[in-house]
Amino acid sequence: MNRLFFIFPAFLFFIQAARAQRPTDLWYFGRQAGLSFASGTPTPLLDGAMTTYEGCATATTRRGELLFYTDGQTVWNRQHQPMPSGRHLMGSGSSTQSALIVPDPGSGNIFYIFTVAPQGAPDGLRYSVVDMTRDNGLGDVPRANLLLVTPVAEKLTAVRHPNGHDVWVLAHRWNSNAFVAYLVTADGVAGKPVMSNVGSLNAGPGRNAIGALKFSPDGTRLAAAIWRESNRFEVYDFDRNTGKVSNARSFGPYAEAYGVEFSPDGSKLYGTCNGNTMSKTPSVSETQIIQIDLKTKAVVPVGHSSNHKIGALQRGPDGKIYVAREDNSFLGVIASPNVSGPACGYVDDGLKLGGRRSKLGLPGFVVEP
């Protein structure tokens, strides 16, 4: 009985510690916009220095304290100043998912910033190293722009390996149907990717490289938005042990498919599409959010925006899905994303940004199944 008494408090401590890990609580994005989910309810942050049209990423401690953020070109420290060597990363503020931050599995002080160039440009997929012990604990970038592969589309996402330590970073080759998966371990970033030839070709005019890539909450599925001229959303299976992508399923056409996000329970996929403003067909000229039921394959529009353009979708720590609206002082909000159809509760003016404005991007994070 005494032994159980000591084990039980230890178990409770473990549970509480796990719940205290909040690495997705802080978002910086858009035109100096930001959000904090630390209280459970998102509140605007007005201290951000970054203006980015699309991709961005934020790094925090596991308790949710700010470390740095980036648009794939500049790295700002927690005092909202550029790091001394953090000004010339080779991503782009006009790339859908221009930057993604991955903590080094072997060190609490090292982070990798992965970047992708816009529109299939030659700069390709690269990574830079942030060392938080430098500049008196504010961090700096001792190594930058290490090339992995070129060219690539504007797609970038990551998920934790089943071993609980390593991380898979995924991108998509340009003029190809190949996904590339790089494993990040305590030894660093793997030099050779796992390649999977599956699904649609990402090719054509450079703007066709536009569109997001996301993992499901359990890491077993992957979704992509493929912009002009494919105009579709695709869903794949993913093996977190091997890094292989397989079993493509396609949904469309949906003109100018851009953002994707899974519901918290993984049963639904949401996508944003901006239609074709030159079209005379109302069904394809509307800015809308669609919902795909991954079990029944039913596809329904669940919301329309008053904005001419909407962009990224991002699931928040509160289980809601947030929608970037270009040059708007509100984010759209899908309040109950596990629910089928319009009852999921999309609200266009869903979350006020305290006078700051969204663009097309929201920060992405490593998915932790």
In a domain, 14, yes or no: no
User: How far is the C-alpha of 140 from the C-alpha of 86, rounded, in Å?
Assistant: 7
User: How far is the C-alpha of 14 from the C-alpha of 291, rounded, in Å?
Assistant: 37
Instruction: Report the number of distinct structural domains present in the chain.
Output: 1
Which pTM value belongs to this model? 0.93
Residue carrying structure tokens 């951000």:
48
User: How far is the C-alpha of 226 from the C-alpha of 203, rounded, in Å?
Assistant: 10
Q: What is the pLDDT of residue 9?
A: 44
Mean per-residue pLDDT pooled into runs of 10, the chain (369 residues): 41 41 93 97 98 98 95 98 98 96 96 97 98 98 98 98 98 97 98 97 91 98 92 97 98 94 98 67 68 97 94 98 98 98 98 98 97
User: How far is the C-alpha of 267 from the C-alpha of 220, rounded, in Å?
Assistant: 12
User: How far is the C-alpha of 91 from the C-alpha of 148, rounded, in Å?
Assistant: 13
Q: Do 346 and 302 meet the contact criterion of CB atoms below 8 Å apart? A: yes
In a domain, 195, yes or no: yes
Q: What is the pLDDT of residue 199?
A: 96
Residue carrying structure tokens 């071993």:
163
Q: Which of 77, 86, 96 is nearest to 129 (CA)?
A: 86
Range of the domain at 227: 22-352
User: How far is the C-alpha of 200 from the C-alpha of 294, rounded, in Å?
Assistant: 19
In a domain, 294, yes or no: yes
In a domain, 365, yes or no: no
Q: What is the pLDDT of residue 1?
A: 41
In a domain, 298, yes or no: yes
Q: Do 255 and 207 meet the contact criterion of CB atoms below 8 Å apart? A: no
Q: What is the pLDDT of residue 311?
A: 97
Residue 328 Cα distances to 164, 308, 311, angstroms: 38, 10, 12
Q: What CATH number does residue 297 fall under?
A: 2.130.10.10
In a domain, 235, yes or no: yes
Q: Do 90 and 145 meet the contact criterion of CB atoms below 8 Å apart? A: yes
- The CA-based diameter of the chain, rounded to the nearest angstrom, is 76
Q: Do 282 and 339 meet the contact criterion of CB atoms below 8 Å apart? A: no
In a domain, 2, yes or no: no
In a domain, 280, yes or no: yes
Q: What is the pLDDT of residue 276?
A: 56
